Amino acid sequence: MGKKLSGKDLIKIGFPKNNSINVTLGHINRYHKRVKKEQILIEAKKVLINPEHYVGDGVWGKIAESLLNPVEVKRQELKTVRSPFQIFGENEIEDQAKYQLYDALKLPIAVKGALMPDAHAGYGLPIGGVLATKNAIIPYGVGVDIGCRMCLTIYPIPVSYLKGKKDQLENILSEHTKFGMYETHKVKHDHEIFERDEFKTIPFVKRLKDKAYKQLGTSGGGNHFVEFGVVSITENDNDWKLPVGEYIGLLSHSGSRGMGANIAKHYTYLATKQCPLPKHVQQLAWLDLNTHDGQEYWLAMNLAGDYAQACHDDIHARIGRLLGSKPLVKIENHHNFAWKQTVDGEECIVHRKGATPAAKGELGIIPGSMTAPGFIVKGLGNEDSLASASHGAGRLLSRRKCKETLTKSEVKKQLKAHDVTVIGGGIDEAPMAYKDIHKVMANQKELVQVLGTFTPKIVRMDK
């Protein structure tokens, strides 16, 4: 018997001559490379005899599934008719983003869709795309940065501090926030997230734990930020009983870091293998939630979302301690995620790729740009938008276009005019790169009620 496990070894112990052999070899090769062949065969025999005992098991569950109820791989065709949809602020949205939604609405699993007024083209689903599906999850419908989210803390600190203590506040952001692929905090904090079962029971996720621990409390590159600014509460009837007026706020925007990106990449690959689609929509490949991989992605996605929240909690706790002030209010929301939600009377999976959940009474933050206000909102539960709203102003210029057409001096002029200080941040995040947030908000009056605004004053981004 050779050292390496082969199909012949599995056939000898009774495995059927079908795809269960390929599934077993692939899984063993990925997660059990260092286990002796004899031990693997003893375990594999147990699974073969009682596969039903191993359903849902992190290591052997997929092999049990291949023996009991193999995943059927068949080429999927698009429907000829789109599922129902609604576009908000249609005149402000590029055609390519609309076409991407139209393609998604022709998937056999599509139930209903919507496009938010900040929408622009992306990979798979457009950014600002919302899609309800039947018992299926599209990893690229959630996006690469799983659980990318907003978090706003409001402090009882006079707004005059933004000028009077400007150097101190700049220093807090420079020294105590970390960005990009390589920066991490010298003093690491622990968090209950690392005790979660998914880090023990899902072999692929287990490998990501060390990096996730190192990156806790850090932010990504691109459009992610941590910033101080002015919160204006404009409605007396707000959920926190805060008097109308101005406060200092800390706003952060970031996601699940390397962990989320790796989960997205891994399960997208599995989806494309199990769900062959026409080439132009291959990125919309889905996982059936009744399969081992579908269930595993669902658990991993939710873990990544909770990890993203843990990162924001860490950022706000660090900075709150340095400010020496207790928060009055904390408002937060995901905008790259999938939820179970009732749509037209049936339970669906609602993907929001760059869209804010806006169920009736649900609170959220819709940011503008470095120089434009963000909005504190309460959802109106509009069924045409699948209870969603925009996740920001949306890009007007691509990153490449920014580098080709904008100059640093133009950006400096804009920042000076709005009295904004920026630490880091590339030209591809210039204020001019974004749509007019006021137009975007005007196009979604039927989706959210505005309770207040956040105007950035000291912004920290990746270098």
**Structure tokens belonging to residue 331:** 């408002």
Q: 188-203 in b/e burial notation, b at 16+ Cβ within 10 A? A: eeebebeebebbebbe
Tokens found for residue 58: 């992190």
CA atoms within 13 A on the CB side of 132: 23
| Catalytic residue set | 391
Name 252's Cβ contacts closer than 8 Å, sequence gap at least 6. Answer: 150, 151, 219, 225, 226, 227, 312, 315, 316
Q: What is the dihedral of CA 7, 8, 12, 16, to 10 degrees?
A: 50
DSSP for 235-299 reads -SS-TT-PPSEEEEEEEEEE--HHHHHHHHHHHHHHHHHHS---GGGGGG--EETTSHHHHHHHH
Nearest to 369 by CA among 332, 420, 335, 311: 420
257: left (phi over 0), alpha (psi -120 to 50) or beta: left
Q: How far apart are CA 287 and CA 289, in angstroms?
A: 6
Q: Determine the 3-state secondary structure of 336 from DSSP.
A: strand
Dig out the tokens for 17 from the structure.
């001559």
Burial class (CB in 10 A: 0-12, 13-18, 19+), 264: buried
In the numeric block, the tokens 């919160």 are attached to 231
Beta 110-120 vs 127-133: how paired, if at all?
antiparallel
Token reading at 344: 């037209």
d(CA 387, CA 364) in angstroms, rounded, equals: 12
